[in-house]
């Protein structure tokens, strides 16, 4: 029997055995049909891109372009949208939702430019900490600091002599810790760098407090873990925040064992307000052993699927830990390139995934990292036969010129973030030079080659709200830019239509869900948002100001600003 048939049989059998029969939100759709009319509907259906009305019956869309007259529809509730715009629910295909929910418990360090500012924000967040309590912050930009000099813990040691401090960077590739925290973890000048990761040191060999990539694991075991209930609370908080912003479905990138337990528990109790597509932490051996034995989980009601594997391969461009073929342009010979998992192990994971019916999604930033992942995909898929795998590369940030044609032939999906291009624009060209930058953050190169583009936020590291993601994709400049200012490498900018497609129907495709999500069509699930302006006609610089008025999931209004 060929690999395609084996793959399909495994999906069917595992789905049947592992189905969650009751995953849905707490409310049930109204049995009374709802007729939305006098609307400007952007359907994302290429056969019928615009419509003026639609009917929702139960959890599905049952009629489109029925006009304003619902007299022929019995017992129908009528909602006049008064010309407002309707979009399919936004699908954010790469997020870290627990971190978003947990951020309310941390000091917000986004935008700080010095350790002095970090201290001030920590004192504002934790004015009277008990001795020994951990003080956690998040959001200092490792890319911006690495362009000048990484921070030093000296002021943290002075300000917080009786508390361990852990400050997570914006993208998670670095952490800053004070002397109390280092002492708890027995880290000093004699501590050797781990096999993967780096301890940044002072001239005398003492740790500055900055730990890059997996060096952070030397301290993480000493930071108290949140309870299962706290994780569930954080997930629900994060999902509700996203629903308010117009997101109806997420792809959770890198579920730990504790995350999986929490998500499954929430699904079983019908507590998920929006949909979740789970991507397992492929770097966790025990987790993968369990799930390869168990197989994919596909939920009939579509509120929790777990059928993807997220693998962390290289580091980040900002911290110079991404795998590049040639040295970094701004610090020749000083690359801290990180391979967080061996290619041999990715190869083993990929072969198992192909055999067991899982999607692969590998984090790759540098040109060498992306090339290595693509080579592995080519080898695995050639061995197993080309089936409908929809394997992904997460970020695909810096590429070799031959990447595009190879990825297109292999039908690999590029999962990219519009905010990263804008956030990194301050230093990215310095890192890799004027030649390599031509194939970095290259959305148009991706599309023109025939590779399918998934557009997402990678929250909570950068501004993540859908209208911000859309704004970045079209304008390629910061939110606070003037209308006259020019975007960064605008030849790679997307049109509104291209960006919306990548945020809806393409993201649904990236989760094998395009038959029920991603567009407003008859018999699809009634996931949609109502917004106050039309992104197709509004001035591009004003897209960031579009307000999400209502969010509907499965025919239920889950969020409204009214």
The Cα 149–Cα 269 span in angstroms is 48
300/305 Cα distance (integer angstroms): 9
The rounded distance, in Å, linking the Cα atoms of 205 and 199 is 10
Buried b (16+ CB within 10 A) or exposed e, 486-522: ebbbeebbbebebbbbbbbbbbbbbbbbbebbbbbbe
* Spatial distance between the Cα atoms of 63 and 70, rounded to a whole number of angstroms: 11
Give yes or no for a contact between 85 and 533, defined as CB atoms under 8 angstroms apart: yes
Distance separating the N- and C-terminal Cα atoms of the chain:
57
Q: List the alpha helices (DSSP H) in 193-342.
A: 228-244, 257-268, 285-294
- Report d(CA 104, CA 125) in Å as an integer: 10
* 8 A C-beta contact, residue 254 and residue 279: yes
Rg (C-alpha) for the chain, rounded Å, is 24
Contact at 8 Å (CB) between 477 and 487? Answer: yes
Are 319 and 213 in contact, with CB atoms under 8 Å apart?
A: yes
Q: Long-range pairs for 329-333 at CB < 8 Å and ≥24 separation? A: 329/430, 329/431, 329/432, 329/433, 329/436, 330/147, 330/427, 330/430, 330/431
Q: Where are the domains of the chain?
A: 135-222
Strands (E), 2-89: 34-37, 40-42, 50-51, 54-57, 60-64, 77-80, 85-88
pTM: predicted TM-score of the whole model, two decimal places: 0.86
- C-alpha–C-alpha distance, residues 447 and 428, integer Å: 22
CA distance 28 to 345: 44
Give me the CATH code for the 135-222 domain, please: 3.10.310.70
Q: How far is CA 382 from the centre of its chain?
A: 29
Q: Which phi and psi angles does 451 have, rounded to 5°?
A: -75, 135
Half-sphere exposure of 199 (CA within 13 A, CB side): 22
Each residue's pLDDT expressed in tens, for the chain with a length of 562 residues: 333 333 333 333 333 333 333 334 556 777 789 999 999 999 999 999 999 999 999 999 999 986 766 656 778 999 999 999 999 999 999 999 999 998 888 999 999 999 999 999 999 999 999 999 999 999 999 988 988 889 999 999 999 999 999 999 988 889 999 999 999 999 999 999 998 899 999 999 999 999 999 999 999 999 998 899 999 999 999 999 999 999 999 999 999 999 999 999 999 999 999 999 999 999 999 999 999 999 999 998 899 999 999 999 999 998 899 999 999 999 887 677 889 999 999 999 999 999 999 999 999 999 999 999 999 999 999 877 778 999 999 999 999 999 999 999 999 999 999 999 999 999 999 999 999 999 999 999 999 999 999 999 999 988 999 999 999 999 999 999 998 899 999 999 999 999 999 999 999 999 999 999 999 999 999 999 999 999 999 999 999 999 999 999 999 999 988 6
DSSP letter (8 states) at residue 224: P
Give the orientation angle of helix 496-503 with respect to helix 466-475, to 10 degrees. Answer: 140
Pairing relationship of beta strands 50-51 and 54-57 according to DSSP bridges: unpaired
């Amino acid at each position: 029997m060929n690999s395609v048939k084996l793959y399909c049989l495994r999906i069917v059998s595992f789905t049947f055995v592992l189905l969650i029969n009751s995953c849905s939100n707490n409310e049930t759709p109204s049995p009374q049909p709802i007729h939305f009319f006098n609307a400007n509907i952007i359907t994302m259906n290429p056969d019928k891109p615009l419509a003026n009305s639609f009917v929702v019956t139960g959890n599905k869309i049952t009629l489109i372009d029925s006009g304003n007259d619902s007299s022929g529809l019995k017992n129908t509730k009528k909602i006049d949208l008064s010309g407002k715009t309707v979009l399919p629910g936004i699908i954010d295909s790469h997020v870290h939702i627990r971190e978003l929910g947990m951020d309310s418990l941390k000091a917000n360090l986004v935008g700080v430019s010095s350790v002095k500012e970090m201290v001030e924000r920590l004192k504002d967040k934790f004015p009277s900490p008990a001795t020994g309590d951990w003080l956690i912050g998040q959001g200092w930009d490792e890319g911006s600091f690495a362009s000048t000099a990484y921070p030093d813990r000296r002021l943290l040691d002075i300000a917080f002599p009786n508390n361990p401090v852990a400050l997570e960077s914006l993208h998670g590739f670095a952490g800053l810790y004070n002397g109390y925290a280092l002492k708890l973890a027995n880290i000093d000048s004699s501590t050797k760098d781990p096999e993967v990761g780096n301890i940044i040191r002072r001239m005398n060999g003492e740790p500055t407090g900055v730990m890059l990539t997996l060096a952070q694991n030397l301290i993480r075991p000493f930071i108290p873990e949140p309870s299962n209930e706290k994780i569930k609370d954080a997930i629900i908080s994060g999902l509700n925040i996203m629903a308010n912003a117009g997101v109806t479905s997420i792809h959770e990138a890198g579920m730990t064992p504790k995350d999986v337990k929490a998500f499954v528990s929430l699904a079983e109790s019908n507590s998920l307000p929006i949909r979740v597509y789970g991507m397992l932490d492929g770097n966790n051996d025990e987790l993968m052993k369990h799930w390869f034995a168990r197989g994919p989980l596909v939920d009939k009601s579509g509120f929790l699927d777990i059928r993807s594997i997220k693998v962390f391969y290289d580091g980040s461009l900002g911290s110079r830990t991404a795998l590049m073929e040639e040295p970094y342009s701004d610090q020749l010979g000083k690359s801290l390139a990180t391979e967080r998992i061996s290619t041999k192990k990715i190869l083993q994971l990929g072969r198992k995934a192909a055999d067991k019916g899982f999607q692969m999604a590998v984090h790759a930033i540098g040109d060498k990292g992306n090339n290595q992942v693509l080579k592995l995909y080519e080898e695995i898929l050639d061995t197993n036969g080309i089936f409908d795998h929809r394997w992904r590369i997460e970020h695909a940030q810096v590429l070799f010129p031959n990447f595009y044609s190879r990825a297109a032939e292999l039908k690999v999906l590029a999962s990219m973030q519009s905010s990263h291009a804008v956030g990194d624009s301050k230093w990215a060209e310095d890192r890799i030079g004027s030649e390599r930058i031509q194939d970095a953050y290259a959305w148009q190169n991706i599309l023109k080659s025939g590779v399918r583009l998934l557009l997402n936020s990678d929250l909570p590291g950068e501004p993540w709200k859908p209208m911000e993601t859309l704004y970045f994709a079209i304008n390629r400049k910061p939110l606070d830019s003037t209308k006259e200012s020019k975007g960064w490498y605008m030849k790679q900018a997307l049109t509104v239509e291209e960006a919306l497609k990548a945020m809806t129907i393409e993201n649904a495709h990236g989760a094998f869900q395009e038959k029920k999500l991603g567009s407003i069509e008859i018999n699809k699930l009634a996931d949609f948002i109502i917004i106050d302006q039309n992104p197709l006609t509004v001035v591009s610089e004003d897209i960031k100001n579009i307000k999400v008025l209502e969010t509907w999931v499965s025919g239920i209004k889950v969020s409204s600003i009214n």
